[in-house]
Amino acid sequence: MRKCVGVLMVFTFLLTFGTTAKAVDVSASFTGAVNNDWSNAGNWTPGLPSGTGTATIGDSNTVNLDTSQSVGIVLLNSGVAGNATLNITNGSNLTLFKSGSTELLGVSRTAGGTGTVNHSAGTVTVGNGAGTGEVRLVNVAGATGTYNLSGSGILDTEVLSKGNSSRAGIWNATGGTLAVRNMIYRFGLQSAGYGFNQGDCTLELGALSTVAAISVGNGTNLTDYKVDAGGTMVFDIASASSFDTILQYGSVADTLGAALNIRLLGGYLPTQNSFFDVWTSSGKTGAGSGAFGSITSGWAAAWVDTDGNLTTDTLRLTYLIPEPTTIALFGLGLLALRRNKK
């Protein structure tokens, strides 16, 4: 009898635990009734957003991500013309994942409104598994959306988009890491007023430490792109045919002064003088230039003309270090030469 009661108690516990542990989808709006902390349920109506729900921040509210959160979508300044601010500054993480949705982090979505994300610590992961999870700075004309990435902050997104074609979407990266898995869309050079300033940021292609191809702009949006001095580019190479690439729809590519880090994945070792064309202008009409300020030891990088039209259209990485077998044979040759001299 006692055994049966024990089994029943365990079953009841598991049933109760399973019920309470199940994620509930809650969409909520931030009111700031108590303070500015995300984790305080009293700041949200009807309660803390959760599951695949939508967290809406607006009406001149400022939200501090004080603990790590996972929710379907975050929308700033949606349906109001005031200011909305999301601060991610204390190392907490934010994960956005909702299948079937494109815009998972909308920074400014109402004409006359201003949305700002200040991201200096922690990781923001934006992806829905379909290659379209997007950080969109501006959704409509007349809105202003700004994303400030700095410090140790990491933004890992499938798409980074300025959104509306007006020039009110501003990307500032004075530090941190931007990991893009799919596309940088509708941006252009900061000097041309298109709101993209990579600054000292590190650009990862694909999710961290993976191989991926990204597009800068798209087929109808000519987007120039550069990495400022102080910025860093990271290219992963997994094999002779699998490596990070950028396809750029624009006429200017500039890497003057930037740092270049090249990582070999999975134990892959290129043969000496192997080259990898990692950054190409669409239609080979672009003009790439700029010497890197630093580069991973054993590699060389140069903008080259690949189609003979006298325009440097492609960034080529060349592996300079001889294969281990070549080094070994060279060493044996020196040893034999030394013995012969004796």
DSSP string, 172-198: EESSSEEEEEEEEES--BGGGTS-EE-
For residue 196, what pLDDT is reported?
75
Give the model confidence (pLDDT) of 71-125 as tens digits.
Answer: 999 999 988 778 999 999 999 999 999 998 999 999 999 998 999 999 999 999 9
Per DSSP bridges, beta strands 299-304 and 314-319 are antiparallel
Which amino acid is located at 276 in the chain?
Answer: F
**Confidence bin at 307 (pLDDT 50/70/90):** confident
Half-sphere exposure for 8 (CA within 13 Å, toward CB): 5
pLDDT bucket at 14, cuts 50 / 70 / 90: very low
CA 19 from chain centre, in angstroms, equals 36
* pTM attached to this predicted model: 0.85
Do residues 79 and 106 make contact, with C-beta atoms less than 8 angstroms apart? no
Across residues 39-63, what is the average pLDDT?
96
**What pLDDT digit, counting tens, does each position of 211-262 carry?**
999 998 877 777 888 787 888 999 999 999 999 999 988 887 888 889 999 9
Query: Of 38, 43, 98, which Cα lies nearest the Cα of 68?
Result: 38
Left if phi > 0, otherwise alpha if psi is -120 to 50, otherwise beta: which for 41? alpha
- Percentage of residues of the chain with pLDDT beyond 70: 84
Q: Which residue carries 């292609």 as its tokens? A: 205
Select the more confidently predicted residue: 13 or 324: 324
Helix, strand, coil share of the chain (percent; to 5)? 15, 40, 45
pLDDT grade for 7, boundaries at 50, 70 and 90: very low
Edge-to-edge strands, sheet with 225-226: 225-226, 252-254, 287-289
Strand partners, 254: 226, 289
- CA dist 233 to 49, 96, 198, 229, Å? 36, 25, 11, 11
- Between 95 and 184, whose confidence is greater? 95
What pLDDT was estimated at residue 8?
36
The token pair at 167 is 């020039």
SS3 330: helix
d(CA 290, CA 128): 36
pLDDT of residue 16: 44
